Amino acid sequence: MSYINFKNVSKTYRDRWYALQDVSFSIDKGEFVFVIGPTGAGKTTLLSHIYFKEFPTFGTVEVLGYSTDTVKKKEIPFLRRKIGVIFQDFKLLSDRNVLKNVSIALEVTGTPGGEAERRARAILTELGMGDKLYKMPNELSGGEGQKVAIARALVREPFILLADEPTGNIDPESSEEILKILKRVNDRGTTVIVATHNYGFLEKVVRKRVLALQAGRLVKDERFYIK
């Protein structure tokens, strides 16, 4: 079942500079996909189209039954509830503790505070952050901050998890741990898409797909399904 379809997608900025050029692919339920390429290749722009932060200049993006051609503005929040996003810079709220940073992802969609905190506590404990619930973001290491960002993305049990350079600001040991978490999430059936320039990661995931971008063009689409 295809969760994501890009159909001849191009995105232009400033004087018709192409961030994406005629990109087409589909991603199915349960895939683990790496989007690779050098800085400026279009990786972040591609991910932004999946959660409808960006819209194509030409072409169509379809995600979980929503299409950039027909989606209404009021429908976009409902799509985003089904997609978790992990950012390189974490984007944690500096005035809230770890537990509140995660529970707020549920509270903004109407989940009662007690239930939101219960679910936030459970996912943080699963990720090894159970003893950091009341720490503030500035008291965390880079790896711990990224775990909180992952917990916030997972607490709503998304169909799709997007990770934009999730290990760009953390040490190698923490990077290994983050990758293990992403693999575990994928093993449970969540579609995981990781944008990275850390090509060493690719060797650590057996069943994967690689989309390679160069200057906004999709130059490689390969599957590696080794049993």
Q: Which CATH number is 1-82+158-227 given?
A: 3.40.50.300
| Residue with more model confidence, 174 or 194 | 194
Query: Is the predicted pLDDT of residue 225 greater than 70, yes or no?
Result: no
Tell me what the mean pLDDT of segment 202-211 comes to: 87
Asked if residue 168 has pLDDT above 80, the reply is no
**Average pLDDT score over the chain:** 93
d(CA 100, CA 72) in angstroms, rounded, equals 31
Which residue type is seen at 174? S
- Exposure string (b/e) for 82-115, b if CB count within 10 Å is 16 or more? bbbbbbbebebeeeebbbbbbbbbbeeeebeeee
What does the pLDDT look like over 71-93, one tens digit per residue?
Answer: 999 999 999 999 999 987 888 99
Q: Which residues of 15-47 are buried (b: 16+ CB within 10 A; e: fewer)?
A: eeebbbbebebebeebbbbbbbbeeebbbbbbb
Q: Are 112 and 151 in contact (CB under 8 A)?
A: no
Rounded mean pLDDT, 41-51: 97
Choice among 1-5, 25-29, 120-124, 156-160 with the minimum mean pLDDT: 1-5
What is the per-residue pLDDT for 162? 97
Compute the distance between CA of residue 48 and CA of residue 161 in angstroms, rounded to an integer.
12
- CATH 3.40.50.300 positions along the chain are 1-82+158-227
Does residue 53 or residue 224 have the better pLDDT?
53
Q: Are 49 and 213 in contact (CB under 8 A)?
A: no
Contact 21, 217 (CB under 8 A): yes
State the angle between helix axes of 142-154 and 113-126 in degrees (0 to 180), rounded to the nearest 10.
130
Q: State the average pLDDT over residues 172-200.
A: 90
The per-residue pLDDT for range 91-141, each reduced to its tens digit, is: 899 999 999 999 999 999 899 989 999 999 999 999 999 999 999 999 999
pLDDT at 155: 95
Q: How many helices (H) and strands (E) are present in the chain, helices listed first?
A: 6, 10
Return d(Cα 116, Cα 31) in angstroms, integer: 28
pLDDT attached to residue 226:
52
Q: Is the pTM value of this prediction over 0.85?
A: yes
Burial level of 64, CB count in 10 A (0-12/13-18/19+)? middle
In this predicted model, which residue has the larger pLDDT, 103 or 225?
A: 103
Tell me the average pLDDT across 25-40.
95
Which residue from 164, 89, 92, 154 is spatially nearest to 127, judged by alpha carbons?
154
d(CA 150, CA 106): 14
* pLDDT, average across residues 147-162: 95
| Cα separation, 213 vs 219, whole angstroms | 6
User: Rounded distance, CA 124 to CA 147, Å?
Assistant: 8
Pull the structure tokens for residue 198. Answer: 């850390």
Rg (CA), the chain: 17
Q: Which has more pLDDT, 179 or 46?
A: 46
| Position 176 pLDDT exceeds 90 | no
